[in-house]
Amino acid sequence: MPTNKHDLLTWLMDVSDEAEIGIEEGNFGQLALIAVHGDDVSLLEVGDVPYPAAKADTEASRERMRGRLRQMQAQAEGEETETGVIVTLDGCISGNPNLFSANFDDAFTFKDREQAEAFVEEFPDVLRLVLILNS
C-alpha cells in the first residue's frame, strides 16, 4: 500500500531535525523510511505505487532475459569462456533462480565481451548502470 503525503508529513514532523533519514529494505523486500538520531529510531513503512502496465512490461522483459540466458547456456555447453560478467545496479546477472544476485560467485558467465555487450543492448529497459567485467 503506498504511503500518502499526509502520513509522510506527519512522520517527518515527529522526526528530530538532527536525524539522519534513509531507506531500509526488510528481509521480504518491504521498504521503510528510517530516521536515526542517537538511540532514537523511527520507521515509516512505504509501499509500491501500482503501475500495472509498467510492472508487467518489466516482468515480461525479465522473463525474456531469463529465456535468453538459458538459450546461451545451452548453446555454450562444453565450450570454454573468457568469463565475462555483467554487473548492474541490481547486482550481477545470474539467471536462475534469480535474475540478479549480490554474490559474484553466482554470476552468469558470458562467452566473451561481445556476447555480454550484445546482451546489454538487447535489454536496455531492464539493465541499469551496466559494467562488463572480465575476471
Q: Model confidence over 12-56: pLDDT tens digits?
A: 999 999 999 988 876 656 778 889 998 888 888 887 655 555 666
pLDDT on residue 76: 72
Over residues 68-116, the pLDDT tens digits come to 888 888 887 666 665 678 777 677 888 766 788 887 777 888 888 888 8
pLDDT score, position 117: 87
CA–CA dist 7, 11 (Å, integer): 6
- Expressed as residue numbers, the domain containing 109 is 52-134
The predicted model gives 52-66 an average pLDDT of 75
Number of domains in the chain: 2
Do 42 and 57 belong together in one domain?
A: no
Q: Label each residue of the chain as H, E or C.
A: CCCCHHHHHHHHHHCCCCCEEEEEECCCCCEEEEEEECCEEEEEEECCCCCHHHHHHHHHHHHHHHHHHHHHHHHCCCCCCCCEEEEECCEEECCCCCCEECCHHHCCCECCHHHHHHHHHHCCCCCCCCEEEEC
On whether both 61 and 102 belong to a single domain, the answer is: yes
Same domain, 14 and 42: yes
pTM of the model: 0.53
Q: Specify the higher pLDDT residue, 65 or 52.
A: 65
Q: Same domain, yes or no, for 21 and 84?
A: no
pLDDT at position 51, please?
Answer: 55
Same domain, 91 and 126: yes
